[in-house]
Structure 1
Amino acid sequence: MKSEAWIFGVTSIFLVLVTPGYWLITSAGDTGGDWTGTSALAMTTLLAAMVTFYLGFHARRMDPRPEDRQDGEIADGAGELGFFPPYSWWPLWCASAIGVIVFSVAMAAWWLLIIGAVLGAIALMGLVFEYYRGLHAH
């Protein structure tokens, strides 16, 4: 994880240098500056620094992974990598229900909001309990 910490560290340093420059360039005009862009860059700087400290903290306390060692081989990383779920239709139905809810709010059709909320609850339950029944049950 040291390589990832270095990548985010370099990104943090870059953003620390760019953010004041952006603020100076945008505040030179008559508009008074672009506070939205400056705030976004400042928050991005803080986020990158937070990830840098997290990765650096854990990189010191854990055993090096095969990709972090100089003598690491591809075979050292062999084995089970995790659980990767198969295809699922439930995210499509969840997104469709959210689409119905957003459309109902935009059109002020509150009756449609109730229908979208019910469909969304059903779709969310299907997504959560997908691996408890059917073809992919555990």
Structure 2
Amino acid sequence: MGRHRMWGKAAGALVLAAVVSGCSDSSDSADKGATKPAAKAVTVGEATATFQAAVTKFDTDGGCLEQEPGTCWEQMQALMKPARDLRKAANADKSTGPEFWSEAYALIDTMEDGIAVGEDKGFPAGGDALTNRDEVLGSAHDLSDWLAAHPVQ
């Protein structure tokens, strides 16, 4: 019985050491996170420029020429990220109100609907039916046009 009791104490000590080690690591991580400076807020002007650059890159890279599903997902996501950043910047912008941004918000929401599908649905044969490419890519270009017509610094 003494041998089992000694093994139990050794195992308990190891478990205790692992728990203490895990706790100290997590508290160190929390302390490190607390000392990180907050990310600098992006201005509407910067977000607009970044979004416009993403649309221009999409166009100059040839857009999305393949009709097969899944061939344009990366490009769709590359346009969605700066659109989300633009929405955050517009929300934080105090010089304009939500009414000013309502059309831009609607276009970004349409892009979100297309991305929410979770994949590129491709372009249907005949081109009569709309796909999530239209929601994301078409709305991105409409948003780009809207931003050009409504410049904000």
**What TM-score does the superposition give when structure 1 sets the normalisation length?**
0.33
Pick the structure with greater CA Rg.
2
**Larger RCO (CA under 8 A, 6+ residues apart):** 2
**What TM-score does the superposition give when structure 2 sets the normalisation length?**
0.31
